[in-house]
Structure 1
């Protein structure tokens, strides 16, 4: 670097650091992250060291904070409030220790204790007490003159207004901060009232302390940790550790994570321990501060122009960073959920190079929550400058976006309505935030999980075919969908020998496997339905559907007929959700009925009847009916299901005695049952071959009405459905 280049670079760095100091210290709106700021300062210092004659009179190396903001009175500190030098790795910490020993002329093996305390990410504050009374409070400002925030400081519960047994003059220094929980609650209140929503706890704490109206500060949940002192009329103690204990005894909150360490190794161990505990502390920290414990040594070491020689801040790797959003990719999970992922220009965040980050769902990309309220103030688009954050091992996320840096050709992102893995429709159910692939059995992203579910104990319960075997056969390309399980032996020709030759297998275990597969061909229909892995279709619902329809063919016929009605119902629900109708379920149902009426009129009567039959089955509602229609209406999924059923002979529900007077009849219970529970009544009816429905229709044969029967009884009367009370029903079925 030439002298001219160095002069130009120092001017640039001075301007950049000056803007950063003003934004962070005076405006509480930082424009760059700590890691970028530290890197700029290190570069500035390195150039000054190489070209000392070029150092500016107002060099950033000699500055602390920023000038006090207008609107506040000014207070000159009796002793300057300095910043801290930084250490970024173990070598820096070792050099800090060695430098102190050289200055004090201490041998490398001489005892030298330090305190190690979390570095709070808040706003520095100085509190001056005279004769035990708080006389003024000031921010750090530029280190020499700060803002007078005395009235505001008096509203903070952690700051005592009077002290007992304190030195006549005592200047306590510490950090004003806000806990994560209080920050979240404050932002929620701000959003509800239309006020400013803060970007992070540090900004919230600084902005709250710098209010011209102390009552606003009083309403904000500010906290204060004491960690140092300025002017004193008499010493607090002989060591840093004991001085902190003295401050605590006077009534100040000190950080309970502070420790006294005897060696550099102990300091580094403490740094790692605090780093691991960082996410659970409940407040923001950005490093650990090491201070020489002996106050006599501190006095001998003294100060540089802007930092004390006896202390250093060991900074954590930045956990936030700004980078460019290159694009948005879609990953399909094992349940079919379409998850958007940010593809990033690689950036180091928290010591890890990040090139991808989660984007949660399409609402998050649009910049709104599930209630449609803004969460960032802008959507996300390819080309945007975005802020990435992570904590510990948590998956990186996009926290913020800079709309001012958006390219002119950036376009809004549109979530795909087809699965990128199998091209099946991707459906977002009303009221949900996640879009899901309907490909099911044919979707590569879902295959292994769906196959494992299919063979599980509660479903087909195939002896000899567990999770490990499914994964192995899928990897080999032998089993890609359930039907392949039943053609495995035939497709291999010498399948017994082929499977038997796999590592860990033999002729006996292979024979047992094929016997287990053959035995499952006649599994109960309810288990087969559950094994398909259709969303919302559990074991109980599978049994209910099997009892109602009696055969696979009858179920398929009804579902196929109901497809147009399912589309109409989904359109009506989507319209209601889009309108963001009243939150109460009753209001939504009423609005759904209003919206659905004109849409429903266009649906063929046969489709409406089939839909009403599906949704009328007790325990089967519109949500499951839609899931069934999605699975059966998706071409690829339907092909896989049909292929599977062609290999099976599902066992239908046990036949009932011909003498049962209600076999094959559809019954509905309404009102209050006094001699049995609703579940017991349903079980008895189904055991006798009756179909229990939850709604009255033309297909209803009997309505059993107890006290409190309402609209169902009215509709039954209109349709001419036979109605009886509970006693008549019990007499009909011969129950005691």
Structure 2
């Protein structure tokens, strides 16, 4: 999770004190390096694999290229003292000097310069030729342990010291401090001097030091509770609005986007910035020719913040669309009255966006189907929906410009492999409003088949922990739509057969939602969460009426009290062990 000011940092500290029911804790503060996260696996002291961290489930094997980075040892120092198997996590980055040198070489060669060091590092690490990667002068800092065959440290600080002893590079700017006031002081200091470093940082990472307290605090579905990022204020810049476009998203949402005179912002050349929606555009009063202030929201998406100078006080504001700019179809405001949507089922912009989302790594993960090919498939009329992908024929595909037999064969192979993806990937790929990958996993676990999910009504869906009423209604409406049902039927007829989640109906905790609180004796927190999942249940971070029971360890605190208040069953660790038969 991210925080942006002293108040949010203090709130984080209060949550830590409450979560461990003690003031006996300290913090480690480290720069948040703007690079590419990777995992290194060492066995018997030897580097055996390196992979990007990807989306949390999948990543790319980059072992050959990582072997060229001088800061990453191929053989650990003092390997005899290291665990037999250890996963080291860290960040690959390109120093500013190396970045400047690389872009000069690219300019001399007539090549497009990289936008920023992060993009340069990511691109360099994924090259096919390790010799080129070696010439890019990448560097690396280790920042944590993933897994280890045997424990070798009791605190994060000790682990970092051990990693240094093993010959791994660790930032010299990491500090251990006693309280949140010292944390804030360090964060503010680096906010002022971040540009003095030879690498880019976009904030600071604050971690509770003791590993046993990590176990007590646990994690949410998104992130660990014992860690938070302090993000530096977004950099801002002034520029001129040259024109305004309207983009159409996968659900038909029309988004105004400002085309800008190029300006440097947070290490990137920015030419476009979002205006979010037409209410926001009206509020800002942005017109073509105006000088505006832009910033990167969360250091990622450029957005217009305010108008600094009006070019013409009498200029008419940008008109609110009365039709889709792409298909000229009808538009309407959504029920919340914020967004305008194209409601045409045949809008080519929506079709493109839906298909690009469907094949993406976080959804169906279909290789060899990039945006350029999706554009061709839509423009030629070969593909208009998800089902058409699975009805593609080799001949017409191979005849497309810049394709040929080999490329067409690769696409057909990728599509064939995707027919047996896990059910949650298909649910996520459908692009149902409000349903992301985590919600898709919950739905797949509960319903196990697509048919069962499609038959569920909004009331059934709302009863599922993690699925709120807005999402439930969105899911229900999606599967009630006859066109959506027809497309799904065509996909299944074309051979799509999503894999069911592991059978859980016969498992002890099937369908149960469990909240774990307090200190455990026989399990670490991660072991407990895994055991619950292996026995068919799922964990939740807070107690509600939907909670099946609360597993209370020592010093259970407020969650135990809430369970009693709501009448939720409370069990001990021994009760749990007896329940699962272990």
TM-score for the superposition, normalised by structure 2: 0.42
Q: Which has the larger radius of gyration?
A: 1
Higher strand share: 2
Relative contact order, higher structure (CA 8 A, sep 6+): 2
TM-score, normalised with respect to structure 1: 0.34
Higher helix share: 1
